[in-house]
Amino acid sequence: MAHVLIVGGGVVGLSTAWFLRERGEEVTVLDAGRAGMGASWGNAGWLTPGISTPLPDPAILAYGIKAVASPSSPVYMPVSFDPELWGFLLRFLRNSTPSRWMTAMRSLIGINVHAFDAFDALARGGADGVGRVEVPTHVPGKDGTAPFIAAYTDVRHRKGLQHEFDQIDAAGQPVSYQLLDGDEVRALIPNVSDAITAGIRLEDTRFIDPPRYVASLRAAVLARGVRIVEDTEVLGIDDDGPRVRLTFSPGVEPLSGDAVVVATGSLLGRLAKRLGVRTTVRAGRGYSFSVPADPMPTGPVYFPFERVACTPLADRFRVAGMMEFRRSTAPFDARRVAAIVRASKPLFRDLPTEGVGVDLADRADEWVGSRPCTPDGLPLIGATRSERVFVAGGHGMWGVTLGPATGQLLAEQITTGRTPPPLASFSPLR
Ligand SMILES: Cc1cc2nc3c(=O)[nH]c(=O)nc-3n(C[C@H](O)[C@H](O)[C@H](O)COP(=O)(O)OP(=O)(O)OC[C@H]3O[C@@H](n4cnc5c(N)ncnc54)[C@H](O)[C@@H]3O)c2cc1C
């Protein structure tokens, strides 16, 4: 039995730990804070492999530099001197062509098709019956939940998503959906305002309550016998030959293992660069908060034009949005939340005055987190220059959807020494 050290306890690191245990390895997860409190905590919780697409999208080019420099834009980049960021964006734009998007999309399909099976494996628990993730994945449109709805104030805007669905279909992954009018959307989600005139009902999706789900995943990993060491930042990785050594701040003893997995989300580059990983991972920061809703919507709602993503949590309604290309360590910026609130106001009925809708003024859990974005829109999963050090991350907008499948496939690679075909395009050394 090998001892694998996993640096980073987000959904990717915890899933990798779970599947490595399932294959009989001894595993230790180390996290700089508390496991599950990074990007994996405050996201929208959509499990949508059917529409998990590369982020560098030809439509991004249409936004233009002027739009992204405006603080109220849904894609925001502060005009600042940051050569690494500008280099990243240049490569990002170069990948935003239709042909590169199509190539990247075909690569993603390979892992997208494993996404739900991996969640089901976590829900079943290990072969020994231990380590079930108790918090369910909900299937919209089933068991009393509303379907996954995209909603629009202008029917013309719907063409954008339909075009994307056609492209996903052309890449080899059919998308199943139906068109709705405004009243049909309101019948399913009574909280949306009369301004909504069109919608799309998307099939083959699921969703989770992210804080509860990652807490349950953490508990399942512990139950399986994985050691989790928290509040411990890893500062370096040294491959000394047969063993790999993690180093910490002065005074903390190094820790050695047979293999290491770097799963540090948007900070992946800090440890992976010295291991030959040249692809930059940058934070695409997003914001979320929760509000009271009555009635509580029973499924996710997406407003593609405003880029606002909503999900019911246990007793509040989470509203998320924004793509802010800033350092993940930059402070929380209240103007971004204000921009999401401004964009959301016309979309919902106002609960305090109408008795139905959402109360955007009564916000809690205001949060910023970092999507780990790569310039080619593909994750980094596999071995580095060291055959004992692996990387798992860079999933951008889809790290929750693809986290468990990533852990499952990477555990196979680490324990068999063979790269599973779906991971072939995601080599961290590309
Ligand atoms: C607003 C928003 C909405 C989103 N919505 C969705 C969605 O609906 N569906 C979806 O699939 N995805 C969504 N995402 C993306 C998703 O949240 C991320 O892709 C995913 O959580 C990344 O997981 P991770 O495990 O790679 O990183 P993280 O969850 O960030 O975990 C990384 C961990 O590494 C630790 N760490 C970092 N450096 C070190 C170090 N040196 N030593 C020790 N530990 C370290 C951190 O403390 C952290 O716990 C959304 C993201 C945002 C911001």
pLDDT tens column, 73-109:
556 666 667 788 888 988 998 999 999 999 999 999 9
Q: Which atom of ligand 1 is nearest to the CA of 36?
A: 49
CA distance 167 to 179: 17
Cα 182 to ligand 1 centre (Å): 34
Task: Give the chain's count of helices (H) and strands (E).
Answer: 13, 22
- pLDDT at position 79 is 63
> What is the set of domains in the chain, with CATH numbers?
3-426 (3.50.50.60)
Cα 398 to ligand 1 centre (Å): 10
Q: How confident is the model at residue 68 (pLDDT cuts 50, 70, 90)?
A: low
- pLDDT at position 61 is 65
- pLDDT at position 108 is 98
- Does position 304 have pLDDT exceeding 60, yes or no? yes
- pLDDT at position 30 is 98
CA distance 32 to 192: 40
> Which of the two residues, 60 and 292, has the higher pLDDT score?
292
Cα 349 to ligand 1 centre (Å): 32
- Does position 69 have pLDDT exceeding 60, yes or no? no
- pLDDT at position 114 is 98
Q: Which atom of ligand 1 is nearest to the CA of 402?
A: 11
- pLDDT at position 146 is 86
Q: How confident is the model at residue 430 (pLDDT cuts 50, 70, 90)?
A: very high
Q: For residue range 310-326, list pLDDT tens digits in order.
A: 999 989 999 999 988 88
- pLDDT at position 286 is 96
- Residue 46 CB contacts under 8 Å (≥ 6 apart), including other chains: 148, 205, 207, 300, 309, 311, 400, 401
Q: For residue range 201-255, list pLDDT tens digits in order.
A: 999 999 999 999 999 999 999 999 999 999 999 999 999 888 999 999 999 999 9
- pLDDT at position 224 is 95
- Residue 245 CB contacts under 8 Å (≥ 6 apart), including other chains: 237, 238, 239, 254, 255, 256
- Residue 29 CB contacts under 8 Å (≥ 6 apart), including other chains: 6, 8, 9, 13, 14, 17, 35, 221, 226, 227, 228, 229
Ligand 1 site-directed mutation target among 7, 31, 366, 373, most atoms within 8 Å of CB: 31
pTM of the model: 0.96
**DSSP-based helix, strand, coil % in the chain, nearest 5:** 35, 25, 40
CA distance 59 to 68: 13
Q: Rg of the Cα trace of the chain?
A: 21
- pLDDT at position 140 is 84
Q: Which atom of ligand 1 is nearest to the CA of 37?
A: 49
Q: Is 223 exposed, middle or buried (0-12, 13-18, 19+ CB in 10 A)?
A: middle
Ligand 1 site-directed mutation target among 15, 43, 137, most atoms within 8 Å of CB: 43
Closest residue to atom 53 of ligand 1, CA basis: 286
- Does position 64 have pLDDT exceeding 60, yes or no? no
- Does position 71 have pLDDT exceeding 60, yes or no? no
Q: Which atom of ligand 1 is nearest to the CA of 372?
A: 19
- Does position 67 have pLDDT exceeding 70, yes or no? no
- pLDDT at position 32 is 98
- pLDDT at position 266 is 97
Cα 371 to ligand 1 centre (Å): 6
- pLDDT at position 375 is 96
Q: How confident is the model at residue 145 (pLDDT cuts 50, 70, 90)?
A: confident
Q: For residue range 3-56, list pLDDT tens digits in order.
A: 999 999 999 999 999 999 999 999 999 999 999 999 999 999 999 999 999 998
Cα 179 to ligand 1 centre (Å): 33
Q: DSSP label at 350? A: B
Taking alpha carbons only, the member of 380, 256, 267 closest to residue 4 is: 256
Cα 36 to ligand 1 centre (Å): 8
On whether the CB atoms of residues 310 and 317 are closer than 8 A, the answer is yes
